[in-house]
Structure 1
Amino acid sequence: MNYVLNNLPERSAKPRNKGLTMAMDKGMSLREVEDILETSGDYTDIVKLGWATSYVFPQLQEKINLYKEAGINVYLGGTLFEAFVIRNQFEDYLRVLDKFGLEYAEVSDGSMDMAHDVKCEYINRLSKQVTVLSEVGSKDETKIIPPYKWIELMRNELDAGAWKVIGEAREGGNVGLFRSSGEVRSGLVEEILTQIPYENIIWEAPQKAQQVWFIKLIGTNVNLGNIAPREVIPLETIRLGLRGDTFHDFLNEGWK
């Protein structure tokens, strides 16, 4: 840091198991990635190459190398996994992971119907080759999953070998964990946390108000995902209580 400020919350250190920030790369150029790494690399733990952007991006290996050289884990979006599976090309998907030296993968079923035991089989198989993140929740805003079901799905996927489970919100933050307005389904989140340890969940929270809500509820070291690359540093200031939204949350009682 550039100077000393007392009474800041203690942030976990990289490589982190909690307090993760997962950024979403929706097709940035290599130069943009270099710029982001220069400023935000120390605060970024994981990067998701969103959807199937890796299929069309012209310099994919070079981009992956940039992230890995910066000590940042990178993986392909779950929609790409589904695109391979629905075409009966899972073995080809495994070859893609090998070809590009990827050590992380996402398993999701937000865009296609998949029996949960089948999804868990994919998680289990992939976990023997890479670190798996599994996404829970539907991209269909009309599909409401009750809290007990979220808990059951998350627990089963962790048991199947997932390193973390991801709470679905899409890049807009308006499905799954959130209402179409972006408001958090607070009862859902709080009930999930009664059964699933917070450090095992990455909450997709692309909107600032959502990030603030989770930090106030869980603390500075909550895992947050689908963060826009240029919002990583602003998020870090929210985590540290250095922005108006959380300014008083981490001060000693005598300072408030």
Structure 2
Amino acid sequence: MEVTSHLKWNPVLADPTGQRQAKPRTLGKTMVMDKGLGLNAFQDLLSTSSSHLDMIKIGFGTSPLYPLNVLKSKINSAKENGICIYPGGTFLEVAIRQNAVSSFFDMLIALGFNGVEISDGTIEMERRLRNELIARGLEEGFEVITEYGKKGWGSSIELEELIDTVLIDTELGAKLVTIEARESGMGVGIFDNNGKCKDDELQRVLSAIPGQQLLWEAPLKSQQVHLISMLGPDIHLGNISPDELMALEALRRGLRSDTLSLGTRKD
């Protein structure tokens, strides 16, 4: 068998932009939403693309629907590949509604999750409770990701509220604040009813908040292209479909026609 371990792509071909950080990276993180991958598909995702993947969200409240051995296997494999894996924030909202927050955290610890998402996309949550949940997540050793925005159709960003949320959440220790766009990417947050980015709102947000603190949910290719072209490869992007992960990485590096113009190296 021919040995290929010494082979390596010329850097100008592997990353024409010359900007992509290796893991563990602080810029340009990618979060994939897992809405029910089987173990074989999950392992295939990691074997081909783990170096391009920073976070996996077990979508919505699907975590208790898996056989426990399957879920635990996913969690262990993700952690072995340097990936933060956590249940969707909606599941914590369910726990709050059912007065089962302690049980929720107990199971996350027992299963080995290394992240937790704190959101109020569907329920109303007092600032005091949000603070307590962030503190509890950190005390239990989780990487805490919070989320801003409601899931209802037509919901928008209230700039002052967002600024306050990001400042307080990050001061308390949240790693990133996710900007809600749901899995559809339409009619929520910075996206209009057709999924087109509302650039004026985006610029207002970025004029007030450092971009490295924000994770933008952008499930549609057109949104990913627009945001990368506008803000560069180092933008954090989430709610990416597993089968679109490699395609997104190609966009970040200027390896697709949509972002080929980014491929002017600075080194």
Q: Structure 2 length as normaliser, TM-score?
A: 0.89
Name the amino acid aligned to 1:77.
Answer: G
Secondary structure of the structure 2 residue equivalent to 1:247: helix
**Counterpart Cα distance in 2 of 1:152 and 1:245:** 35
Q: Which residue of the partner structure matches residue 107 of structure 2?
A: 96
Name the amino acid aligned to 1:228.
Answer: S
1:159 equivalent in alignment to 2:171:
yes
Q: Is the 2:34–2:241 contact (alpha carbons within 8 Å) kept by the matching residues of 1?
A: yes
- Show CA shifts across 1:92-124 (max 9, x none): 111012111122100000011112332222112
TM-aligned CA deviation for residue 183 of structure 1: 1.0
**Counterpart Cα distance in 1 of 2:199 and 2:138:** 31
**Counterpart Cα distance in 1 of 2:265 and 2:29:** 24
Q: Which residue of the partner structure matches residue 4 of structure 2?
A: none
**Which runs of structure 2 are paired with 1:56-67 in the superposition (5 Å)?**
56-58=65-67, 59-67=70-78
**Counterpart Cα distance in 2 of 1:144 and 1:224:** 19
**Counterpart Cα distance in 1 of 2:96 and 2:167:** 23
**Counterpart Cα distance in 2 of 1:90 and 1:223:** 29
TM-aligned CA deviation for residue 89 of structure 1: 0.9
Q: Which residue of the partner structure matches residue 242 of structure 1?
A: 255
Name the amino acid aligned to 2:181.
Answer: A
**Which runs of structure 2 are paired with 1:103-252 in the superposition (5 Å)?**
103-129=114-140, 130-174=142-186, 175-251=188-264
1:4 equivalent in alignment to 2:17:
no
1:51 equivalent in alignment to 2:60:
yes
Q: Is the 2:18–2:265 contact (alpha carbons within 8 Å) kept by the matching residues of 1?
A: no
Q: Which residue of the partner structure matches residue 72 of structure 1?
A: 83
Q: Is the 2:84–2:143 contact (alpha carbons within 8 Å) kept by the matching residues of 1?
A: no
Q: Is the 1:203–1:224 contact (alpha carbons within 8 Å) kept by the matching residues of 2?
A: yes
- Show CA shifts across 1:24-64 (max 9, x none): 11010001111111211111111010011111012211121
> How many percent of aligned residue pairs carry the same amino acid?
36
**Counterpart Cα distance in 2 of 1:171 and 1:235:** 16
**Counterpart Cα distance in 2 of 1:50 and 1:183:** 23
Q: Is the 1:9–1:220 contact (alpha carbons within 8 Å) kept by the matching residues of 2?
A: no
Q: Say if 1:252 and 1:70 are closer, same or farther in 2 by CA, change over 3 A.
A: closer
Match of 2:49 among 32, 40, 62: 40
**Counterpart Cα distance in 2 of 1:56 and 1:252:** 46
Secondary structure of the structure 2 residue equivalent to 1:210: helix
Name the amino acid aligned to 1:48.
Answer: K
194-203 or 19-28, which moves further after superposition? 194-203
Q: Say if 1:148 and 1:31 are closer, same or farther in 2 by CA, change over 3 A.
A: same
Q: Structure 1 length as normaliser, TM-score?
A: 0.93
* Structure 2 gap segments, 5+ residues each: 1-6
Secondary structure of the structure 2 residue equivalent to 1:32: helix
Name the amino acid aligned to 2:107.
Answer: V
**Counterpart Cα distance in 2 of 1:41 and 1:230:** 13
Name the amino acid aligned to 1:218.
Answer: L
* Structure 1 gap segments, 5+ residues each: none
TM-aligned CA deviation for residue 5 of structure 1: 5.1
